[in-house]
Chain A
Amino acid sequence: DSGVTQTPKHLITATGQRVTLRCSPRSGDLSVYWYQQSLDQGLQFLIQYYNGEERAKGNILERFSAQQFPDLHSELNLSSLELGDSALYFCASRPPRGANTEAFFGQGTRLTVV
């Protein structure tokens, strides 16, 4: 158990809909990262938050948005869903002691858009 919790584990929804994925980082971790992994692909970095503020942005679509709340949990919102958005979405957190730290990953949310 990494200590990072993601909910829900599975999500099936129709095209055009909007969903929210939730992530609770490890206790004490201030950074939250979101990644998308399509079938048999590598992980694409979407966005990073640090202590409530956006820190880095990757190839995140305009239809996607995220935020980190004061209790440090984060939500990834995906709207106007398309079939191609079907993927595993991972959240990870890292300790706040600066560089050279490992990331701890949640078990992911498997999103299926039908």
Chain B
Amino acid sequence: SQQGEEDPQALSIQEGENATMNCSYKTSINNLQWYRQNSGRGLVHLILIRSNEREKHSGRLRVTLDTSKKSSSLLITASRAADTASYFCATDVAGNMLTFGGGTRLMVKP
């Protein structure tokens, strides 16, 4: 079974709106990472948040981590049509493998 589960599975918004995706996981982690995948392409790393961090920013991205609830959220502000992609969270448990969730498919309409 997946360690991480994203919610929602699909999200459709208008350009300029904010997009929020959530990720829940099951076990204690070293860090949680968010990746983006354009259709059928390789995954691209967006941001990494360590287990002792609560919030992190990178450009229009904001990630939060709540280890007590075993959950994380990714906020994309002022979305653009080019943000259309699938977004995955991945948990790093022991510095070895990254376990991915099922992803959120984001569509940003121009």
Contact = CB atoms under 8 A, between A and B. Distances in A.
Contacts of B88: 42-43
B40 A88 contact: yes
A45 B98 contact: yes
A109 B101 CA distance: 20
A99 B88 CA distance: 19
A88 B90 CA distance: 18
Nearest to B6: A42
B42 A58 contact: no
A92 B37 CA distance: 14
Interface residues of A, number: 27
Given A100-B31, A102-B48, A45 B43 contact: no
Interface in B46-101: 48, 50, 88, 90, 92, 94-101
A92 B33 CA distance: 14
A104 B92 contact: no
Contact of A35 (B40, B50, B100): B100
Interface of B: 2, 30-31, 33, 35, 40-45, 48, 50, 88, 90, 92, 94-103
